[in-house]
Structure 1
Amino acid sequence: MRLHSVKIKRLRSIEEVELKDCGDFNVLIGKNNAGKSSILLAIDTFFECIKDGNIITFNPTLKKEIDFFNKETDSSIEIVVTFGLDSNDKKDLMKVINEATQMKNPVDKIKSAKQLLITLNITPPPITYSLVTQIKLIGSYIDDDGTVILTIDDSTAQELYAESLQYRNKIKYAEEVYRVISEINVNSILREYWKLSGSTSEVLFFRYFFAPTKFAETKIPQELGIRLSSLFMFDRLVFVEGKSDEDVIREWASKLGVNFSQANVGFVIMGGVRNFAHFATETTLSFLTKRQVKMWFLLDRDEKEDSEVSKLQSRLGNNAKLKVLSKREIENYLICPSTIRRFIQSKKELEGKPIDELPEIPEIDEISNKIEECAEKLKQLSIDKRIIKKLPKLIYPSEKNLLKDPDTNTIVERINLEINSNIKQLEESKKDTENIYKEILSEVEKNWNYKKLDIVPGDLLLDQVCQIYNVRFNKTKDASRMAALMDKNKIDSEICEIIKEIGSSN
């Protein structure tokens, strides 16, 4: 069924609003705090409350005083959703009710019905629950009287809540029951159907409530730095280490004619690869996979070894794709003489001097030579970074060892034993340092002549070249600006493939 219209009453800042003629893709435009998020929240709450076929739902999302219009808690929130019915929808509905003899009239009405209307009410605190108060078939317009399938008035609603709560409290082994439906004072047609289908006179539907699921629903969007309403707008998420990475990728995508907005691509800033484990948890990945969100983790190579990359990929499993750049970092892909020349020129022009007073911009060949010179100066730093990465981690006293055998040795003796053990391990690691250095040096020397611009820290090289011409390159501020100055045919093929994969229509 396709959502046709939504009417919302008494929700937060919304006294009453209606969205008519909803299409396959809808965009809400308005000022901040105009109510866009409230509309999305209402739609999300509606489907959350009815998704398991529930008539009544305990503990709905909207349950605080602030969720009610002007904090007035004398009236319920009302969400009315109208669905369009096509021939397949009608067939499905008729299959549900065709065994009930008393449903002949509604079946006939289904054949000519255009829409199905469902009304959900959320009662105000202190006793808050959601209840489907009406289901009816209607014609082409929402003011059509229609054919009522289910209706629940206020007195019946209170009795239904009380009876459902009673059943809920009787369940002994559930950690917490989230939703309960009881067949009591419900439309006689539905009651007859339940009896004919073999149900007992008391019908109870329930499911267990597990903390991880609820945690995922409420906490994960916050941890990703994305509002819940925004999260539902993205079909694809790209996890990057820093904001400058996102900015550079977006600039290159624009150059390549890849429309990330059309593909509903969103970016999540991890704040460095050290936070990879925080974002790549099983709960987060399953939460997003459940919503059919495609995911990519785009990481700098830095000094990562292949074994480390394999561990990162195994953590993601099949839920997301890991893209580790072949060059050290994304700034290495900006090392292009013609691009650097334009960047230097733009920086000079920003100084505000008259054109005739601007210094002469260096030629591309000269910049190429300076790039080579600066790369050679950064060679030892590149080696040092690789060695440091391969050194063993710092060793700390083990609390488990310190608390072991308290009757045998005093705490002072146990501490001294632990320290001596750690010193022995460090001495053994110290012996390996020379071997590690020789191994790294050999590896860098082997690849240096043809891969030096991939090995050195890209942001440092760009800044050193720029300093020769009295300008500076700041990774945070200038990376996207330099990407915007790069010719399309100068964008590395590896980057092109990644961007096209993320933004493809498949």
Structure 2
Amino acid sequence: MNIQDVRIERFRSAELVQLKNVNDFNVLIGKNNSGKSTALFAIEAFFQCLGGEGLVSLAPPFGRKIDFYKQILDQPIIISLAFALDEEERRILLQEIAREAPQLKNVIDAIDSSLLIEISVAVTALPDNYAYVKSIKFSGTEGSAAEPSRTLLNVNAVAAQELVARQRAISASNQSVNDISRFLETFDSDDFTRIKKDEDDTRAFLRFRVAGRRSLIEMSSRSLQEIEQILRSSDSYLQFRTTATAYRNQLVSESKKNASEPLKNFLQTFSGEQSTAPTYALDLLHRVVNTRRLFLAERREPVGRVEAKQLLDYKVTRGGPETLKDIQQKIEGLLGVKVDAFESRANESNERTAEMDVDNFLLEVNGSGVKEALRLILDVELKKPTLLLVEEPEVHLHPALETNMMRYLREVSQSCQVFVSTHSTNFLDLAGTQNVYFVSKKTSASEIKLLEIGEAERQIPEDLGIRLSSLFMFDRLVFVEGLSDELVLREFAARLKIDLSQANVGFIHIGGSRNFSYFANEATFSFLSKRQVKSTFVLDKDERDDAEILKMKASLGERASLHMLSRRELENFMVKSRPLKEFIIFKRAVSGIKPDAEITDEVVTAALLRSADQLRPLSTMKRATHSILNSIHVAVEWTAEDVLDQAQGKILGEIVRLREQLTAQEAAIGPVLEQSRRFVDGNWKSQWINLVLGDILLDKTCQQFGVRFKKVTDGPKLASFYEANEIEGEIATLLKSFGAGA
């Protein structure tokens, strides 16, 4: 019996969320406080709500005001799970239904075997807090022949209140029965004689003098009153025992009568209205609630002597050593450590206990990562659940252990249905994870969406190196040339107090503008458009002219936007004297160079201008090289109709074409160089900051003060010295558009 669908209504941040098409291994991923834990706990709470008597539970695991969506208390929380039955489970259920409703055998035999069993529980708020089974029904699977749902049981709110009132009465009677039985076991004739000497103080005596006995300490106030009344009316110990026993037996009879009494408010069942709960429904609920499940909340008790004793017991039980060896091998393969358990020395009370060793050291001296991983593995291996719910399995784990735990949980899912909540993108990016649900919170309500990972893997070229988490976890993707660009833009955003994380902005590095067309492919942006993910390319202008830029924008169409920087590269926006001065002072300090009061804004400005003039020839050569070689590229394309015999001729033809093109370009080197020189010289005075090679300019300037500028490591640091009002308007406007989600 596996869960297929989950539906949660009005629980905490979930107004209405669903996990559809649940599989053996399911990952709920999202930011903190998005609602992942709410969804996972709701599944566990569903089973706890079924753990009462019959159709109601008087002690559900929640019911406070904050447990209700927007604290609206006039409607119950509803949690519904749909289960797929195997052939034997379905046979038993239909057989039980037919036994209670033989007149409907033909209808029962015609029920589609693909239908699911959906069970819904409702939970009311404090102070009248209880849970009840709201409905049990056959429900169609998505994509199957849509046979109408068939109700096996429906409990309306009025019938639920009657069931709860009855159960409370039964529970109170049962409590009194247990209290009286325990009291009679410990209360003798001497106690009776002492109490009768001071009847005016009977109740106090019961509570404080005879007590010390656990049977009295745990007794309800109702039971104390009943026993006191019997004591006052009894003239002898024998009369007391006879009367108390008779009263206890009367309570037992009344409890049984209450349990079998027909309901005044009917239940809707498969065969119509009934005044009692059908046996097939109660038996089904019993099988569901007995599911071997394991819920590991984010805060878990550390592994200790209990687990050590279980491992130790394997050593002396039949078949145990083989089981222990299997567990030890799994742990060593996953964590790289050897685990064993031994009997510890007797303590002061001469009691021997078990203790666990990890690599021949006591468990307690190991790091939190190993202990956290052991907690999960040992819980699974020792308890053998068929349903496993794990919150944040990556807590305290370094990346290698995180990957191993992911692999382990996938292996576990072959024999156990697994639900994992996480905010680690590794659980999404690792191959083979098909059932991933993205949990997000829009305004105050959580949303859960099944991610189309299979479609993404089919449509988006693997060698692009785009992480699946980038495609699914962000509302906007910014394609930049490299890591340094991302880090600088993030630092500038922080200076401007723009929270890119809150705006759900992710970055993808394309490895240089030469890879633009490779990343700007039809499949990638078709998929992103379908997911309504906004995409923007932010690229260095380098030596591109307007015609090239228009061509690039046209290739993107409406699927993504292109922001071509107005200056040669991002570093060209980082040549302000004051921040650069602060950066130089910082670099000199960390390099151990003594402070120099002569390093002022004016001095740095002069150094920048000297470095820029020295780089003017390089700017000219870069521009000429781009003009000459930009149009030269291999243009051989192959089709499925091409045959091998034609390959040599086709390749030779392309070589001839390239040779002719190179010859023509060779003749143009001189004129192009001269044209580039005139352009650079003519525009240098007013446009040098746009034309110079920015990262080299910064490095040459820093060298004049005895330090260096390295693009990747120093770019973000230099950006951190900028005040918000010093960031160039073009960059500020761009970042604000990201933060606004425009």
Shared fold, TM over 0.5 = yes
Whether 2:137 is the aligned partner of 1:144: answer no
Question: Whole-Å Cα distance in 2 between the matches of residues 399 and 185 of structure 1?
Answer: 55
Tell me which residue corresponds to 2:150.
187
Answer yes or no: is the 8 Å Cα contact 2:459–2:523 preserved in 1.
no
Matching residue within 515, 525, 535 for 1:285:
525
Whether 2:684 is the aligned partner of 1:448: answer yes
Tell me which residue corresponds to 1:496.
732
For 2:479, what is the secondary structure of its paired residue? Answer: strand
Tell me which residue corresponds to 2:624.
387
Tell me which residue corresponds to 1:86.
none
Tell me which residue corresponds to 1:241.
481
State the shift of 1:375 in Å.
0.7
Identical positions, percent: 31
Question: Whole-Å Cα distance in 2 between the matches of residues 237 and 454 of structure 1?
Answer: 26
Answer yes or no: is the 8 Å Cα contact 1:244–1:479 preserved in 2.
yes
Tell me which residue corresponds to 2:574.
334
State the shift of 1:449 in Å.
0.4
State the shift of 1:452 in Å.
0.5
Residue 132 and residue 264 in structure 1: after superposition, are their counterparts in 2 closer, same or farther (change >3 A)?
A: farther
Matching residue within 697, 700, 708 for 1:461:
697
State the shift of 1:435 in Å.
3.2
Tell me which residue corresponds to 1:201.
none
State the shift of 1:226 in Å.
3.7
Whether 2:717 is the aligned partner of 1:481: answer yes
Q: Deviations over 1:483-504 (max 9, x none)?
A: 0012222211111110111112
For 1:437, what is the secondary structure of its paired residue? Answer: helix
Answer yes or no: is the 8 Å Cα contact 1:119–1:132 preserved in 2.
no
Residue 337 and residue 122 in structure 1: after superposition, are their counterparts in 2 closer, same or farther (change >3 A)?
A: farther
State the shift of 1:391 in Å.
1.5
Whether 2:629 is the aligned partner of 1:376: answer no
Question: Whole-Å Cα distance in 1 between the matches of residues 458 and 636 of structure 2?
Answer: 37
Residue 214 and residue 485 in structure 1: after superposition, are their counterparts in 2 closer, same or farther (change >3 A)?
A: same
Matches within 5 A, 1:42-441: 46-47=19-20, 49=21, 62-63=23-24, 80=43, 114=76, 117-121=79-83, 132-134=116-118, 136=120, 138=122, 140=124, 144-148=131-135, 150-151=137-138, 180-183=143-146, 186-187=149-150, 214-216=454-456, 220=460, 225-228=466-469, 232-352=472-592, 357-392=594-629, 393-394=631-632, 422-441=658-677
TM-score by length of 2: 0.43
Answer yes or no: is the 8 Å Cα contact 1:240–1:268 preserved in 2.
yes
Structure 2: which amino acid aligns with 1:464?
K
For 1:182, what is the secondary structure of its paired residue? Answer: coil
Question: Whole-Å Cα distance in 2 between the matches of residues 265 and 428 of structure 1?
Answer: 46
For 1:314, what is the secondary structure of its paired residue? Answer: helix
Structure 2: which amino acid aligns with 1:270?
I
Structure 1: which amino acid aligns with 2:135?
V
For 1:310, what is the secondary structure of its paired residue? Answer: helix
Residue 373 and residue 78 in structure 1: after superposition, are their counterparts in 2 closer, same or farther (change >3 A)?
A: closer
Structure 1: which amino acid aligns with 2:620?
I
Answer yes or no: is the 8 Å Cα contact 2:587–2:707 preserved in 1.
yes
State the shift of 1:297 in Å.
1.3
Q: Deviations over 1:290-345 (max 9, x none)?
A: 22222221111111222222222122222222111000111011111111111110
State the shift of 1:134 in Å.
0.9
Residue 429 and residue 359 in structure 1: after superposition, are their counterparts in 2 closer, same or farther (change >3 A)?
A: same
Residue 266 and residue 251 in structure 1: after superposition, are their counterparts in 2 closer, same or farther (change >3 A)?
A: same
Question: Whole-Å Cα distance in 2 between the matches of residues 284 and 398 of structure 1?
Answer: 24
Structure 2: which amino acid aligns with 1:452?
W
Question: Whole-Å Cα distance in 2 between the matches of residues 256 and 289 of structure 1?
Answer: 29
Residue 415 and residue 277 in structure 1: after superposition, are their counterparts in 2 closer, same or farther (change >3 A)?
A: closer
Question: Whole-Å Cα distance in 2 between the matches of residues 79 and 332 of structure 1?
Answer: 53
Provide the alpha-carbon RMSD of the alignment.
4.4
Answer yes or no: is the 8 Å Cα contact 2:539–2:565 preserved in 1.
yes
Residue 422 and residue 251 in structure 1: after superposition, are their counterparts in 2 closer, same or farther (change >3 A)?
A: closer
Question: Whole-Å Cα distance in 1 between the matches of residues 84 and 705 of structure 2?
Answer: 66
State the shift of 1:271 in Å.
1.9
For 1:181, what is the secondary structure of its paired residue? Answer: coil
Question: Whole-Å Cα distance in 2 between the matches of residues 263 and 123 of structure 1?
Answer: 43
Question: Whole-Å Cα distance in 1 between the matches of residues 621 and 714 of structure 2?
Answer: 26
Residue 122 and residue 323 in structure 1: after superposition, are their counterparts in 2 closer, same or farther (change >3 A)?
A: farther
State the shift of 1:133 in Å.
3.1
For 2:542, what is the secondary structure of its paired residue? Answer: coil
State the shift of 1:429 in Å.
2.5
Question: Whole-Å Cα distance in 2 between the matches of residues 485 and 131 of structure 1?
Answer: 64
Structure 2: which amino acid aligns with 1:375?
A
Structure 1: which amino acid aligns with 2:489?
I
Question: Whole-Å Cα distance in 1 between the matches of residues 114 and 561 of structure 2?
Answer: 39
Higher-Rg structure is: 2
Q: Deviations over 1:200-258 (max 9, x none)?
A: xxxxxxxxxxxx99432677597564453x75442222221111111111111111121
Q: Deviations over 1:114-136 (max 9, x none)?
A: 45544244789xxxx99753164
Whether 2:24 is the aligned partner of 1:21: answer no
Question: Whole-Å Cα distance in 2 between the matches of residues 395 and 238 of structure 1?
Answer: 27
Residue 419 and residue 266 in structure 1: after superposition, are their counterparts in 2 closer, same or farther (change >3 A)?
A: closer
Answer yes or no: is the 8 Å Cα contact 1:139–1:146 preserved in 2.
no
Question: Whole-Å Cα distance in 1 between the matches of residues 541 and 564 of structure 2?
Answer: 6
Structure 2: which amino acid aligns with 1:182?
A
TM-score by length of 1: 0.61
Residue 143 and residue 234 in structure 1: after superposition, are their counterparts in 2 closer, same or farther (change >3 A)?
A: farther
Question: Whole-Å Cα distance in 1 between the matches of residues 520 and 651 of structure 2?
Answer: 37
For 1:375, what is the secondary structure of its paired residue? Answer: helix
For 1:445, what is the secondary structure of its paired residue? Answer: helix
Question: Whole-Å Cα distance in 2 between the matches of residues 439 and 123 of structure 1?
Answer: 78
Question: Whole-Å Cα distance in 2 between the matches of residues 302 and 63 of structure 1?
Answer: 51
Structure 2: which amino acid aligns with 1:434?
G
Residue 425 and residue 227 in structure 1: after superposition, are their counterparts in 2 closer, same or farther (change >3 A)?
A: closer
215-224 vs 496-505, which moves further: 215-224
Residue 435 and residue 352 in structure 1: after superposition, are their counterparts in 2 closer, same or farther (change >3 A)?
A: closer
Question: Whole-Å Cα distance in 2 between the matches of residues 275 and 491 of structure 1?
Answer: 28
Answer yes or no: is the 8 Å Cα contact 1:118–1:132 preserved in 2.
no
113-122 vs 490-499, which moves further: 113-122
Tell me which residue corresponds to 1:100.
none
Q: Deviations over 1:380-418 (max 9, x none)?
A: 111111111122455669698xx99x89xxx79x98887
Q: Deviations over 1:347-405 (max 9, x none)?
A: 1111246xxx43445222122111111111111111111111122455669698xx99x
State the shift of 1:448 in Å.
0.9
Structure 2: which amino acid aligns with 1:498?
L
